[in-house]
Amino acid sequence: MLRKVLGFYLKRGKGTNRLRGILRFIKNFRFILKFTQEAKEFQLLGGSIDEISPYLNEKTDTAGVNFGQYFLQDLLVAQEVYRLSPRNHLDVGSRVDGFIAHVATTRKITFLDIRSLTNTVPNVTFLQGDILSFKSKVRYELVTSLHVLEHIGLGRYGDTLEPLGHIKAFEKLVEAADYDGKIWISFQVSEQTITQFNGQRLIGWLEPLDWAGKLGLKLEKFYYLNEEEVFQTYNEESIKTMKPVAGNLGIYFFTKAH
CATH number, residue 191: 3.40.50.150
Are residues 174 and 209 both part of a single domain?
yes
Range(s) of the domain holding residue 20: 2-60
Are residues 46 and 163 both part of a single domain?
no
Q: How deeply is 6 buried, as exposed, middle or buried, from its count of CB atoms within 10 A (0-12, 13-18, 19+)?
A: middle
Is the pLDDT at 64 greater than 70? The verdict is: no
Is the pLDDT at 106 greater than 70? The verdict is: yes
Q: What are phi and psi of 61, to 5 degrees?
A: -70, 160
Is the pLDDT at 258 greater than 70? The verdict is: no
Q: Which residues pair with 127 in a beta bridge?
A: 112
Average pLDDT over all residues of the chain: 92
Are residues 110 and 235 both part of a single domain?
yes
Is the pLDDT at 227 greater than 70? The verdict is: yes
Strands 124-128 and 177-190: unpaired
Note the pLDDT of residue 9.
80
Model pTM?
Answer: 0.84
Note the pLDDT of residue 110.
98
Note the pLDDT of residue 98.
96
Is the pLDDT at 196 greater than 70? The verdict is: yes
Are residues 104 and 225 both part of a single domain?
yes
The number of domains in the chain is 2
Residue 127 and residue 60: Cα distance in Å, rounded?
A: 42
Is the pLDDT at 14 greater than 70? The verdict is: no
Note the pLDDT of residue 62.
66
Can you tell me the mean pLDDT for 35-45? Answer: 93
pLDDT band at residue 65 under the 50/70/90 scheme: low
Can you tell me the mean pLDDT for 190-212? Answer: 96
Are residues 228 and 203 both part of a single domain?
yes
Task: Sort residue 118 into left (φ over 0), alpha (ψ -120 to 50) or beta.
Answer: alpha
Can you tell me the mean pLDDT for 32-59? Answer: 91
Are residues 39 and 125 both part of a single domain?
no
Are residues 21 and 122 both part of a single domain?
no
pLDDT band at residue 13 under the 50/70/90 scheme: low
DSSP structure class, residue 67: -
Can you tell me the mean pLDDT for 121-127? Answer: 97
Is the pLDDT at 61 greater than 80? The verdict is: no
Can you tell me the mean pLDDT for 185-213? Answer: 96
